[in-house]
Structure 1
Amino acid sequence: MQHAIGKLIVLTGPSGAGKGTLLKALLAEHPELYVSISATTRSPRPGEVHGQHYFFLERAEFDQMVADGNLLEWAEFAGNCYGTPRQPVAEQIAAGKTVILEIELEGARQVRASFPEAYRIFILPPSFDELENRLRGRGTESDEVISRRMTRAKDEIAAANEFDIQIVNDQVERAVQELATIVFPVDTPVPTSV
């Protein structure tokens, strides 16, 4: 009997679209999913654990992974590097697991080049106004940061058609159900003639 091969799902969308919320709800329903852990050169924040939240690496270690082709995707933000280690993802897929990457647009584009069979999902906010309300509702960022995020979101949303499917996160329960249907398609039985 041949072992089932898993699949790679890429989840992308602008900050505030609700990617993390949808993924958390999907994981609550489907704990068998494997969420890829990113590598980063930034320092751990209080409570973050190496190998659980991120793989915390020195810059030289990260640069070596890039040079060796050991990252599916990577980018640099605010002086720190972030990337998806290739080996754990490949091992989980080989074991028949469904692997989800929650990453930014540029990373998703890199995955399309390095792992073209990945299924790519773009999470959209219901509107720009709602996106801004969500960002402001967090209460964690200045007006300047929110303004930059909104400008970036316009560019990201313009790229939504590069993805296999778009999900509008207007109601969390509905959006999670739509996401679950895509990640875990149910084979419809073929009617038989009598």
Structure 2
Amino acid sequence: MTTPLRTLSAVNALADALRRRVLSGEMAPGTPLPEQELSAQYGVARPTVREALAVLVNEGLLRRERHRSAQVAEVTPADLDDLMFVRRPLEDLMATTLAGRRIEEADGALARMAALSADAPWSDAVAEHMALHQALIVAVGSPRLERLYATLAAETRLGLVRLRTVYTDRDLLVAEHRDLLDAIGRGPVEAARQAVATHLDHGWGAD
């Protein structure tokens, strides 16, 4: 039993390391990830590399074609436009439902985002950004809305990588999300909906 646990731990550790590099923008879209090179670089067996890459392919962060190395997935401007076309009505439902409420889990994600050091990798900001928006969606209490939103997670995370050049000052990212949560918490419904619409249009449209 101990060997599989060690193997699983190595797979998860490698997947986490590669995920952070992708979400920090260190690996640009289209960057190939040859198994042999990763095996030598991280000092792990190729089956471990293969399993770790499969995890990220399943998450949508990597893409793999037959007989070719896995590559960092690319989200084009057209992809982002379509992504926001789908996200807007989902988050509008969230704003309509949660107007006038504070969501503790979202406030917690904001606090963690604010606590990040200036030199923290962008992947950490991506993680808290995702956690904040996910907490709002979960708070609606609709399993179907949550499942629909989850299908957009990979493209959303990859899209957020592009925003690192927009939010070079992390304080601006924190301030915008604080304003968003405050607007939802205060209500009324129309004000919350407008705040969400403005929030979604601002950063993504700036790319």
TM-score by length of 1: 0.26
| Structure 1 or 2: more helix by fraction | 2
TM-score by length of 2: 0.24
Per chain length, whose mean CA-contact separation is higher, i.e. which structure has more relative contact order (CA < 8 Å, sep 6+)? 1
